[in-house]
């Protein structure tokens, strides 16, 4: 099978492309510049992007490219730009893919389509609150319509936080804090969080490509375990071989401090629970996460130490 992977230069794409190649797929890696062997250059993704060359001969697409929220943008500006890439760009790719004869379209989405906190399963309503979540939800709706109209199969994978070698953003900042051994005021936080290790995610995507299934699906992908923020800090500390100092500051105090600093949204994400139910994926595909969370965290720490030493 020939597969187009968009966002091949990103966090997920860099791991997915060689993994699918090892499984025997012929992979077309779509990147912005297309400077390496096997890559196809694709300009900025949007409603007028031409995917003809990238899609030639492909039977499947894994659409991992996306635009994430940026702190320096206003809410209106961020939503407009997210919609251009994540919504309009995804729908245009799907239309061209269907025309080109693609049979299976895998859309990498986010649990943010459901919201920022809660316990989510296949019946949970969509209540996105930020630009990224809104644009991904609108893309899911539009893609479902295209799938119905064209007969191209759609698989949507909604992800919680993804971690692993190459991770950035808040997870990387947390690792840096843990490494410093500074006292962290999270001992009293009693929450539950779903995460997905990059190795588990790309294995699930591979299962979606090689398993013969009929119909359209929306699935959550996660590690088999859930974890609290204090447990995550302790696990990272253990993997790094550093002592952790957790102070029992009440969560409502932490939230008041965050509000005073203009970080109320960040506080709700950090202190709240967000758990996804990936049972449907496991039942339909017979998939099981090949790596434990402990293995994933250790691999992430090894990468972190290696890139710090460079």
Which residues form the catalytic set?
A: 132
CA neighbor of 206 nearest in space, from 20, 22, 28, 21: 20
Contact 152, 102 (CB under 8 A): yes
Residue 49 in tokens: 């992007």
Listed in sequence order, the residues at least 6 apart from 309 whose beta carbon sits closer than 8 Å to its beta carbon are none
Query: Helices 264-271 and 251-260 meet at what angle, rounded to 10?
Result: 160
Place of tokens 């939503």: 79
Helix (H) or strand (E) holding 120: strand 118-120
The dihedral built from the CA positions of residue 78, 80, 81 and 87, taken in this order, carries a sign that is positive
Q: For residue 174, what are the CA distances in angstroms to 78, 103, 242, 270, 310?
A: 25, 40, 14, 11, 20
Q: How is residue 249 written in tokens?
A: 């500051």
Q: The tokens 């005021």 sit on which residue? A: 185
What is d(CA 78, CA 104) in angstroms, rounded to the nearest whole number? 30
Length of the chain: 310
Q: From CA 187, how far away is CA 155, in angstroms rounded?
A: 39
Burial profile 198-226: b = 16 or more Cβ within 10 angstroms, e = fewer: bbbbbbbbbbbbeeeeeeebbbbbbbeeb
229-240 helix and 293-309 helix, angle to the nearest 10 degrees: 50
Listed residue (49, 7, 12, 53) closest to 30, CA to CA: 7
């Amino acid at each position: 099978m020939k597969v187009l992977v968009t966002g091949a230069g990103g966090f997920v794409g860099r791991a997915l492309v060689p993994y699918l190649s090892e499984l025997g797929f012929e992979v077309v890696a779509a990147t912005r510049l297309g400077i390496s062997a096997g890559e196809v250059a694709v300009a900025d993704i949007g409603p007028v992007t031409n995917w003809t060359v990238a899609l030639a001969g492909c039977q499947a697409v894994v659409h991992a490219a996306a635009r994430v929220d940026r702190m320096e943008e206003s809410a209106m500006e961020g939503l407009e730009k997210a919609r251009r890439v994540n919504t309009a760009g995804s729908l245009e790719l799907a239309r061209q893919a269907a025309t080109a004869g693609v049979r299976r379209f895998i859309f990498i989405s986010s649990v943010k389509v459901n919201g920022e906190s809660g316990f989510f399963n296949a019946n949970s309503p969509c209540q996105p609150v930020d630009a990224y979540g809104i644009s991904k939800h609108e893309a899911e709706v539009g893609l479902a319509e295209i799938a119905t109209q064209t007969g191209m199969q759609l698989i949507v994978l909604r992800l919680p936080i993804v971690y692993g070698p190459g991770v950035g953003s808040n997870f990387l900042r947390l690792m840096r804090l843990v490494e410093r051994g500074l006292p962290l005021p999270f001992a009293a936080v009693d929450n539950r969080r779903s995460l997905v290790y990059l190795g588990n995610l790309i294995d699930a995507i591979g299962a979606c490509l090689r398993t013969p299934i009929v119909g359209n699906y929306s699935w959550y992908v996660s590690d088999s375990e859930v974890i609290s923020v204090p447990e995550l800090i302790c696990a990272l500390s253990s993997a790094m071989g550093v002592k952790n100092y957790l102070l029992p500051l009440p969560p409502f105090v932490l939230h008041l401090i965050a509000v005073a600093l203009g970080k109320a949204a960040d506080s709700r994400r950090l202190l709240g629970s967000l758990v996804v139910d990936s049972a449907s994926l496991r039942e339909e595909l017979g998939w099981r996460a090949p790596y434990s969370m402990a293995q994933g965290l250790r691999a992430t720490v090894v990468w972190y130490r290696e890139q710090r030493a460079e």
